[in-house]
């Protein structure tokens, strides 16, 4: 700790090492009106006339009176609950937003990745999107030519590089998005929620790459909900809460103070979700029956099999976790089950209405407010307007973002979108509920709330299928697990055994 304090003191004394300096930094939004949010005012598509009664004309400050410096050669972590101002601060640093008060000085060119894969065009291939994304970041095409194979190899998405991105899982977009940003050698790299989506193997690989980047770049800023990651890899932390800095400095010390404020804190369990083992009553009725499902994509001159000979049955009452690395076929399977994709061969029988949450906020309109998006997203998910109106207050209360509900969604962090998207979907009572990457985004407290809500929903749903990279979640909540690899099922059975075999496979790869 003494070495860290001395290092910080030296940096502060040497003014040339200061890369970012914020003085009395503040930014406000009007909760009711945004000058370019015209769709919210012109189109009253979703609610009745009483909508105006719900609107509070209130100025909201997501960032207020911030004072901090960031130094050359450091990995600066930013932590805090959803809606605390982390993403807004990153947008101020990158120049996307301009402050209403105070000043921020940035010495260097900023490359910001606010959501891995932002800017990707779904109809283009991964390779084409590398060039598109790189040029959007201001990188010369010749430089991309030199880096394309390294980017491809690091991403680990294999033949998917020449496949349209509409077929990618969120984890695969995360891999490619990070790889593009990391290999373009930015001066200042900002990663917002960078490692929340993706398997453990890639997250560790990305963390090591970030350490390499610091040697070449001026600095790296990381927004993360992973306290373990922040403690291990960040040199310094800023803890934001309600737009103000609560603490900044040594990661271990800041994390201890942050954790002390978390509700229902139980030190012995630390970062693990505090859940009861799911009690389920499995019945004889078959809800899903898949027989030899095969699905292929044409990749230039060859055929890629995203699903191959996939067969399984789901009985009423089962809660099934689907695990595997990015690109294993998990999201593709979910899209087949929800009839977004049609298999080439095989038989699929579904006994019940299916509701899927394949990506939080997928149907959100960035120009509309969170409130309007509740109605829009609800109806996209098949919820009658009257039902949305009845449950409107409950959705807002569960999401925990009431203060921002009348702000445009474009001002939301990915965590806030996660909260709202889940809260809307959770108001349904579907026969079959499919959740892809359910707990990849969001702070610890909301992940716990969401997990408990999923367990409640199990009482009314015939079956629940959950794609998750959280092995502890799968072991605790699910009564069965399917492990997928290269589009095939490698194991189907006890969750603990599935997780054990999957972890052993990852360990073997590292050797």
CATH of the domain at 454: 3.40.50.300
The tokens describing 239, both together, are 């803890």
Residues 187 and 315 in one domain: no
Mean pLDDT of 272-301: 75
Report if residue 281 sits inside a domain.
no
Range in 48-52, 84-88, 160-164, 447-451 with the lowest mean pLDDT: 48-52
Residue 338's alpha-carbon distances to 91, 284, 288, 325, 354, in angstroms, are 36, 23, 11, 21, 7
Residues 155 and 303 in one domain: no
Read off the pLDDT of residues 40-81 as tens digits, 9 standing for 90 and up. Answer: 444 444 444 444 444 444 567 889 999 999 999 899 999 988
Is the pLDDT at 265 greater than 50? The verdict is no
Mean confidence (pLDDT) of the chain: 78
Length of the chain: 511
Report if residue 463 sits inside a domain.
yes
Instruction: Return phi, psi of residue 377, to 5°.
Output: -65, -40
Residues 354 and 413 in one domain: yes
Question: 348: which strand partners?
Answer: 290
Q: Cα angle vertex 488, ends 196, 301, to 5°?
A: 95
Helices (H), 329-486: 330-337, 370-380, 385-399, 414-425, 444-457, 471-477
Look at residues 267, 297, 324 and tell me which one is the last residue of a structural domain: 267
C-alpha span between 181 and 209 (Å, rounded): 11
Report if residue 319 sits inside a domain.
yes
Mean pLDDT of 334-355: 84
Q: Cα angle vertex 210, ends 206, 212, to 5°?
A: 115
Residue 168 structural domain: 18-30+58-267
Report if residue 41 sits inside a domain.
no
Asked whether the CA dihedral 456, 462, 468, 471 is positive or negative, the reply is: positive
Of 222 and 364, the one with more pLDDT: 222
Read off the pLDDT of residues 193-202 as tens digits, 9 standing for 90 and up. Answer: 655 555 667 7
C-alpha span between 278 and 382 (Å, rounded): 28
CB 22 within 8 A of CB 66: yes
What total of structural domains would you count in the chain?
Answer: 2
The tokens describing 447, both together, are 């992940």
- Whole-number pLDDT of residue 255: 93
Q: Is 85 helix (H, G, I), strand (E, B) or coil?
A: coil
- Whole-number pLDDT of residue 299: 65
Query: Where does the pLDDT of residue 440 fall: very low under 50, low under 70, confident under 90, or very high at 90 and above?
Result: low
* Percentage with pLDDT > 90 across the chain: 23
Least Cα distance to 426 among 324, 357, 485, 369 occurs for: 357
Residue 423's alpha-carbon distances to 391, 397, 450, in angstroms, are 10, 9, 8
Report if residue 361 sits inside a domain.
yes
Residues 474 and 367 in one domain: yes
Residues 247 and 381 in one domain: no
C-alpha neighbours within 13 Å on the C-beta side of residue 252: 4
State which of 168-182, 235-249, 274-288 shows the largest mean pLDDT.
Answer: 235-249
Mean pLDDT of 217-229: 84
Report if residue 365 sits inside a domain.
yes
The tokens describing 265, both together, are 């804190």
CB 441 within 8 A of CB 447: no
Residues 22 and 142 in one domain: yes
Residue 36's alpha-carbon distances to 39, 83, 89, 97, 411, in angstroms, are 8, 21, 20, 13, 12
Read off the pLDDT of residues 388-406 as tens digits, 9 standing for 90 and up. Answer: 888 899 889 988 888 889 8
Of 377 and 69, the one with more pLDDT: 69
Report if residue 12 sits inside a domain.
no
Report if residue 278 sits inside a domain.
no
Query: Where does the pLDDT of residue 327 fall: very low under 50, low under 70, confident under 90, or very high at 90 and above?
Result: confident
**Tokens 């009482």 found at:** 459
Distance of CA 202 to the CA centre of its chain: 15
Query: Where does the pLDDT of residue 438 fall: very low under 50, low under 70, confident under 90, or very high at 90 and above?
Result: low
* Percentage with pLDDT > 70 across the chain: 76
Q: What residues contact residue 139 under an 8 Å CB cut-off, 6+ apart?
A: 184
- Whole-number pLDDT of residue 358: 57
Residues 441 and 489 in one domain: yes
C-alpha span between 122 and 507 (Å, rounded): 33
Residues 22 and 121 in one domain: yes
Residues 263 and 290 in one domain: no
Residues 384 and 411 in one domain: yes
Read off the pLDDT of residues 464-482 as tens digits, 9 standing for 90 and up. Answer: 888 888 788 888 888 899 9
Residues 170 and 218 in one domain: yes
Residues 402 and 260 in one domain: no
Is the pLDDT at 152 greater than 60? The verdict is yes
Is the pLDDT at 355 greater than 70? The verdict is no
């Amino acid at each position: 700790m003494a070495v860290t304090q001395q290092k910080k003191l030296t940096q502060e004394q040497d003014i040339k090492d200061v890369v970012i300096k914020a003085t009395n930094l503040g930014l406000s939004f009007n909760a009711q009106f945004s000058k370019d949010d015209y769709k919210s005012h012109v189109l009253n598509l979703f609610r009745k006339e009483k909508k105006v009664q719900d609107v509070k004309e209130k100025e909201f400050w997501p960032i207020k009176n911030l004072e901090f410096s960031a130094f050359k050669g450091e990995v600066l972590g930013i932590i805090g609950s959803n809606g605390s101002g982390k993403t807004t601060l990153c947008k101020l640093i990158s120049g996307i937003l301009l402050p209403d008060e105070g000043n921020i000085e940035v010495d260097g060119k900023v490359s910001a990745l606010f959501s891995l894969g932002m800017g990707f065009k779904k109809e283009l291939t991964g390779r084409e999107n590398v060039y598109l994304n790189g040029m959007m970041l201001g990188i010369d095409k010749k430089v991309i030519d030199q880096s394309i194979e390294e980017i491809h190899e690091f991403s680990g998405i294999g033949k998917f590089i020449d496949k349209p991105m509409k077929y990618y899982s969120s984890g695969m977009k995360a891999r490619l998005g990070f790889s593009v940003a990391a290999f373009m050698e930015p001066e200042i790299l900002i990663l917002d929620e960078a490692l929340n989506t993706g398997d453990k193997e890639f997250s560790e690989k990305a963390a090591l790459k970030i350490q390499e980047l610091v040697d070449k770049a001026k600095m790296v800023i990381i927004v993360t909900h992973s306290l373990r990651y922040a403690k291990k890899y960040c040199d310094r932390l800023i803890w934001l809460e309600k737009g103000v800095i609560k603490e900044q400095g040594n990661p271990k010390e800041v994390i201890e103070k942050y954790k002390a404020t978390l509700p229902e804190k139980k030190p012995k369990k630390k970062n693990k979700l505090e859940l009861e083992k799911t009690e389920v009553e499995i019945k004889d009725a078959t809800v899903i029956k898949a027989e030899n499902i095969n699905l292929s994509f044409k990749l230039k001159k060859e055929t890629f099999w995203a699903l191959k000979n996939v067969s399984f049955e789901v009985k009423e009452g089962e809660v099934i976790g689907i695990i595997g690395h990015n690109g294993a076929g998990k999201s593709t399977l979910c899209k087949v089950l929800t009839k977004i994709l049609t298999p080439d061969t095989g038989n699929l029988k579904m006994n019940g209405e299916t509701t899927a949450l394949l990506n939080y906020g997928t149907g959100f309109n960035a120009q509309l407010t969170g409130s309007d998006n509740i109605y829009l997203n609800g109806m996209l998910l098949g919820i009658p307007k009257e039902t949305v109106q009845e449950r409107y207050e409950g959705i807002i209360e569960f999401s925990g973002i009431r203060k921002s509900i009348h702000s445009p969604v474009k001002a939301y962090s990915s965590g806030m979108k996660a909260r709202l998207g889940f809260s809307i979907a959770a108001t349904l009572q579907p026969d079959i509920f499919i959740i892809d990457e359910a707990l990849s985004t969001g702070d610890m407290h909301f992940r716990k709330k969401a997990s408990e809500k999923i367990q409640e929903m199990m009482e009314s749903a015939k079956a629940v299928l959950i794609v998750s990279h959280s092995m502890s979640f799968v072991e605790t909540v699910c009564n069965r697990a399917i492990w997928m690899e290269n589009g095939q099922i490698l194991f189907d059975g006890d969750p603990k055994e599935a997780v054990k075999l999957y972890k052993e496979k990852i360990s073997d790869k590292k050797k």
